[in-house]
Amino acid sequence: MIQDSVYRQVIDLFGADHQMDQAIEECAELVVAIRHYRRGRASLSDIAEEIADVEIMMAQLRHVVGDTLVEREKARKLERMRGWVEGE
């Protein structure tokens, strides 16, 4: 997939540590956008822009951490959520 190739190239170019720092920054920007939206100082479009940035960074981090590990943790957490929703 072209996206995966681009993600890998960016990680190779800047390094995993730099991209982890970038992910922290993008997550913080999403938090700020949500807070601003709730105070009437930002739009849904602003939030969407930050979500896109965070999703791109998360895809890069999956390359760093490993897809299998992420999927295993995601499945575990979704199962826990299912239990909450179903009252188990």
Q: What pLDDT, in 10s, does the model give residues 63-88?
A: 999 999 999 999 999 999 999 999 97
Query: pTM here?
Result: 0.91
* Torsion angle defined by CA atoms of residues 55, 61, 67 and 69, in that order, rounded to the nearest 10 degrees: -120
Task: Output the pLDDT for position 41.
Answer: 98
Instruction: Say if residue 18's pLDDT is above 90.
Output: yes
Token output for 70:
């992420």
Cα 87 from Cα 33, distance rounded (Å): 33
Instruction: Provide CB contacts within 8 A for 20, sequence distance 6+.
Output: 61, 64
Expressed as residue numbers, the domain containing 65 is 2-85
> How many structural domains is the chain composed of?
1
Mean pLDDT within 23-33 = 98
Cα 3 from Cα 56, distance rounded (Å): 9
Residue 44: half-sphere exposure toward Cβ, Cα within 13 Å: 0
**For residue 45, how many other CB atoms are within 10 A of its CB?**
10
